[in-house]
């Protein structure tokens, strides 16, 4: 398994969905931490129309090798038809924080 640390991002529409999905992810042991970032304004094209909505970003800290598991859990438990699922490589992190992430997952 790839041990490199990554951040996976997804957006949800409300606090209930943010709490539910973050709990599912943490209980899965595929992530050590999920930050819930409220009050994000999103603009995008959907059904050929410009949309504007308020969302909440989930910032999921995990290992690269768990990305497919995280993606599967998000798709299974997300309320959106097409959820955002983006993986960003962490190129630098403190040694202590990296160990904490690794020690709090499978």
* pTM, entire model: 0.93
Residue 102 predicted with pLDDT over 90: no
Token representation of residue 1: 């398994």
Judge whether 2 and 62 are in contact, CB under 8 Å: no
Map out the domains of the chain with their CATH numbers: 5-103 (3.30.70.120)
pLDDT digits (tens, 9 = 90+) for 28-80: 999 999 999 999 999 999 999 999 999 999 999 999 999 999 999 999 999 99
CB proximity list for 57: less than 8 A, separation 6 or greater? 9, 10, 11, 36, 37, 40
């Amino acid at each position: 398994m790839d041990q490199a640390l990554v951040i996976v991002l997804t957006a949800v529409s409300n606090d209930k969905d943010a709490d539910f999905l973050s709990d599912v992810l943490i209980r899965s042991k595929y992530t050590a931490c999920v930050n819930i970032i409220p009050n994000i304004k999103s603009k995008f094209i959907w059904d050929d129309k410009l949309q504007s909505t308020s969302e909440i970003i989930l910032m999921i800290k995990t290992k690269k090798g768990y990305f497919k598991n995280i993606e599967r859990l998000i798709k299974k438990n997300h309320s959106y038809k097409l959820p955002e699922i983006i993986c960003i490589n962490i190129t630098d992190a403190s040694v202590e924080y990296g160990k904490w992430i690794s020690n709090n997952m499978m």
